[in-house]
Amino acid sequence: MGAMDNASLALSLYDVRRSYGRGGNAVTALDGVTLEVPAHSWTAVMGPSGSGKSTLLHVAAGLERADRGQVWLAGHDLTRASEALLTRLRRSEIGFCFQSFNLMGALTAAQNVALPMRLGGAKVEGSRVHDVLASVGLADRARHRPRELSGGQQQRVAIARALVTEPAVLFADEPTGALDTGSARSVLTLLRGLVDHRGQTIAMVTHDPAAAARADTVVFLADGRLVDRLERPDAAQVAARLAALEG
């Protein structure tokens, strides 16, 4: 089971397979992926277009089922979990943020952040919402609606919403893909701080070597397999490995 004991792993995948379609049209998106993500660390997933990055993130976050293998998160194998358990885990242990923010336009920042807890039927403490907004640097924007916020601020609200339930893992799919360089940098600095100062575990898909270089570990997918890995890399190393895979 690898070098690390399970307690120090926030997320682990063993020999995970996932394909789409059937017969001659079948596409193998993940072809035997094994990945251990230590608690309180940040892992970036890179690879050429179509290599399986989004599928990996969705399977790891319980948004899609693996066909085979195991996905362990918060003490449960998601591949064997009932729908009821998956729903509970998605509301408590799994945070997700997207390239396109996916905020509710009619709701304020504070209401957007409170939404996952409301949907989970939990009582929402105003102070909790305020603390999470403050932790992403938006204490003074609680009453603003998404259209009144910059792209970088909207992504911060989305990150706050993903963190409000204190998830075991924050999953981020291209979190800086829609942002200009400066906003991207500040969102990445926020994510780095969440790991370093709050012990958050993050799994992120990105196309951007500069973003991946902020992570602790970068893993590379090609044709649904993990083919390479860098620890504490710089952006030039990441770009070179990616270029080699894109051929």
Ligand X SMILES: Nc1ncnc2c1ncn2[C@@H]1O[C@H](COP(=O)(O)OP(=O)(O)OP(=O)(O)O)[C@@H](O)[C@H]1O
Amino acid at 77: D
Q: Min. distance of Cβ 230 from ligand X in angstroms?
A: 18
Region for 75 from its dihedrals, namely left if φ exceeds 0, alpha if ψ lies in -120 to 50, beta otherwise: left
Between 4 and 20, whose beta carbon lies closer to ligand X? 20
Q: Min. distance of Cβ 20 from ligand X in angstroms?
A: 3
Q: Min. distance of Cβ 137 from ligand X in angstroms?
A: 29
* Other C-beta atoms lying within 10 Å of the C-beta of residue 14: 19
For residues 81-112, one letter each, b for 16 or more C-beta atoms within 10 angstroms of the residue's C-beta and e for the rest, the string is: beeeebebbbbbbbbbbbbebebeeeebbbbb
- Contacts with ligand X in 5-44 (CB under 6 A)? 20-21, 27, 29
Q: What is the CA radius of gyration of the chain?
A: 18
Q: Min. distance of Cβ 18 from ligand X in angstroms?
A: 8
Q: Using CA atoms, how far apart are residues 216 and 174, in angstroms rounded to an integer? A: 17
- Contacts with ligand X in 44-63 (CB under 6 A)? 47, 49-55
Between 72 and 220, whose beta carbon lies closer to ligand X? 220
Between 29 and 138, whose beta carbon lies closer to ligand X? 29
Q: Which residues bind ligand X (CB under 6 A)?
A: 20-21, 27, 29, 47, 49-55
